[in-house]
Amino acid sequence: MPLTLSLSPRAGRGNAVDSPRLGPVTPIGCNRSPSPRKRGEGWGEGQPALTTHYALRYVARMTTPFRFDPLELPPECEALRLEVRAFLAEELAAERWSPNSDFGSHRGADFSARLGARGWIGMTWPKKYGGGERSFLERYTVTEELLAAGAPVGSHWIADRQSGPLLLRYGSEAQREEFLPGITRGETFFSIGMSEPDSGSDLASIRTRATPVCGGYEVTGAKVWTSYAHESHYAITLVRTAPLDAKNRHAGLSQLILDLKAPGVSIRPIINQAGEHDFNEMVLDRVFIPSERLVGQEGDGWKQVTSELAFERSGPERFLSAHQVLRALVAAGGDNPDPLLLDALGRMTAQLWTLRQMSLSVAGMLQAGELPNLEAALVKDLGNAFERSVPERARTLVPRRRRAEIDGFDGALRETVLYAPSWTLRGGTREILRGIIARGLGLR
């Protein structure tokens, strides 16, 4: 029987494993107190007399910061999944685009408009703004199907994932009414203006300043690595509205909605090693931004930016960027897969499914109104490591002459190898993520 790979709606269901020595094992984050044990009961013959009770309490202290409660998608998600797959099959049959699962390099404004017409952008938002008032889990289902199929989602991606939720949480009613309906129709696109030249990953060191003037702010500075700014309409931009305070570097930051066609905005392309134009440098020379384009309260920019991180770091895009290569690997196995390839595919599939379960758990927390930034950082760090490993394994597992025989294998592999270095940079470098994780564990 040939190998197949699918994000099956029912596969992978699991329960907590019971240990004959330790009793029922509670999933991380459930915080169930272990049953008392007699002092002196150890872990086995010849082991130190550390009681099971105290050992479990120690483990609980180490794992409590992370919560990945098991979650199963409800029936309405599976019905929606079939609907999305039928839509994607029609799109592929019409040859409207070629599959590429890297959300950061594959986009099409016309495709975004077709998604918007089906109600698949802004799915969780209130209907009065054009949203669908559906669950985060339904949105997750649509997202993973789009990414697994390699659909061109990049045009509306940032507006749907981050900018819209930010405006719903902190924006004014006038801002919501002005921007959200266009996003849900797949017509209004946003970029993120955070990173700056010479700042590296130290976001608190930004120097773009917004000086109060009559009716608003005059903004001067530069932003870099701004994805799709040349094709977007607006950018939610982090600026300094008060001088830097050495004792509190996070103070004095604010977010403004920047019109990317405004006078004084210059967008300079940054061509990546694949020869594509995704990134940009934005130079802002005394750009006027009206005061009604201030998001939230002046000085709350840092709090607002960090609230976006769970949306940005935990979705399936953090482990599906190389999915087309993984599918090609499955195809390479054919009816009689090589044992070495079969073993590698088993390991990668297990990693993929674990990451998906962790990501789903974060989606459940977002559904409950929580901000699981720590769990999201872990999903992104592990997910990036996984998706960067996929092309390297593919290159060593399948000889070049064999790859040429498999439709689309070489093209998918070449594209993935070229784009993979950026995956650990966007949304926070590994060093930043691991620092967040270490603080959550109390290690720094």
Q: Say which residue, 18 or 306, is predicted with more confidence.
A: 306
Residue 40 has pLDDT above 70, yes or no: no
**How far, CA to CA in Å, does 183 sit from each of 145, 312, 392?**
20, 17, 37
**How far, CA to CA in Å, does 146 sit from each of 42, 88, 368?**
50, 8, 24
| pLDDT at residue 21, rounded to an integer | 29
In the chain, % of residues over pLDDT 90: 51
Under a CB-based contact definition with an 8 Å cutoff, are residues 9 and 144 in contact?
Answer: no
Q: For residue 383, give the amino acid letter.
A: G
Closest Cα partner for 329 from 339, 318, 342? 342
| pLDDT at residue 285, rounded to an integer | 97
Rg (C-alpha) for the chain, rounded Å, is: 24
Q: Say which residue, 269 or 405, is predicted with more confidence.
A: 269
Q: Say which residue, 229 or 437, is predicted with more confidence.
A: 229
Average pLDDT of 89-100?
93
Angle between the 373-397 and 430-440 helix axes, to the nearest 10 degrees?
130
Angle ∠(356,59,362) on CA atoms, nearest 5 = 25
Total-model pTM:
0.80
pLDDT bracket for residue 101 (50, 70, 90): low
Domains and CATH numbers, the chain: 193-305 (2.40.110.10), 307-440 (1.20.140.10)
Helix (H), strand (E) counts: the chain: 15, 10
Q: Which of 70-79, 238-247, 266-275, 307-316 has the lowest mean pLDDT?
A: 307-316
Q: Say which residue, 10 or 285, is predicted with more confidence.
A: 285
Average pLDDT of 10-35?
37
Give the three-state DSSP class for 326: helix
Residue 25: DSSP 8-state: P
| CA atoms within 13 A of residue 379's CA, in its CB half-sphere | 32
Q: For residue 94, give the amino acid letter.
A: A
pLDDT bracket for residue 429 (50, 70, 90): confident
Q: Please write the tens of the pLDDT for every residue from 173-193.
A: 999 999 999 999 999 999 999
CB atoms within 10 A of CB 343: 12
Q: Which residues pair with 277 in a beta bridge?
A: 271
Structure tokens belonging to residue 22: 């330790």
**Helix or strand holding residue 373 (H, E):** helix 373-397
Closest Cα partner for 138 from 27, 15, 9, 11? 9
Q: Following CA atoms 401, 147, 312, 387 in sequence, which dihedral angle do they give, to the nearest 10 degrees?
A: -20
Residue 389's contacts (CB-CB under 8 Å, 6 or more residues apart) are 348
d(CA 75, CA 77): 5
Residue 36 has pLDDT above 70, yes or no: no
Q: Please write the tens of the pLDDT for every residue from 299-317.
A: 999 999 887 766 777 889 8
| pLDDT at residue 310, rounded to an integer | 65
Residue 203: DSSP 8-state: G
Q: Which residues pair with 188 in a beta bridge?
A: none
Structure tokens belonging to residue 410: 């070489």
d(CA 336, CA 307): 49
Q: Which of 58-62, 104-108, 276-280, 436-440 has the lowest mean pLDDT?
A: 58-62
CB atoms within 10 A of CB 288: 16
pLDDT bracket for residue 424 (50, 70, 90): confident
Q: What is the DSSP string of 124-180?
A: TS-GGGT-----HHHHHHHHHHHHHHT--BHHHHHIIIIIHHHHHHHS-HHHHHHHH
Residue 16 has pLDDT above 60, yes or no: no
Give the three-state DSSP class for 339: helix
Give the three-state DSSP class for 276: coil
